Amino acid sequence: MLAEILIENKEYKEAEKYYQGIIKKDENITQDELYTYVYLLLCLNNYIEARNILEKMLKVKEKSYLLINIRTD
């Protein structure tokens, strides 16, 4: 995946743009992609957003969905 390569190369801002594009398109995102996105947010010191996503993942996991929408608008 493109974002994982960008993260390996420590191009965090570019990887964040990639994920923001997915979120803005209102697409569902897989659990693996979400974990990678949370890792990216932690690398960018965006702890609050990472925590919010993890909390939402826990709530949705109870419903046992593989894909969830993390858009917050």
- Per-residue pLDDT band at 1 (split at 50, 70, 90): low
Is 61 inside any structural domain?
yes
Q: Angle 12-24/31-43 helices, nearest 10 degrees?
A: 140
With tokens 């990887």, the residue in question is 15
Is 24 inside any structural domain?
yes
Cα–Cα distance for residue pair 12/67, rounded to 1 Å = 24
Is 73 inside any structural domain?
no
For residues 25, 56, 73, 8, the Cα torsion angle rounded to the nearest 10 degrees is: -50
Q: Residue 30: beta bridge partners?
A: 67
Is 71 inside any structural domain?
no
Is 17 inside any structural domain?
yes
For the segment 9-48, what is each residue's pLDDT rounded down to a tens digit? 778 788 888 888 877 776 677 777 788 888 888 888 888 8
- Per-residue pLDDT band at 66 (split at 50, 70, 90): very low
Is 72 inside any structural domain?
no
- Per-residue pLDDT band at 69 (split at 50, 70, 90): low
Number of domains in the chain: 1
For the segment 14-23, what is each residue's pLDDT rounded down to a tens digit? 888 888 887 7
Query: Which is nearest to 39 in space by CA: 19, 24, 59?
Result: 19
For 55, the domain range is: 2-66
Is 43 inside any structural domain?
yes
Is 62 inside any structural domain?
yes
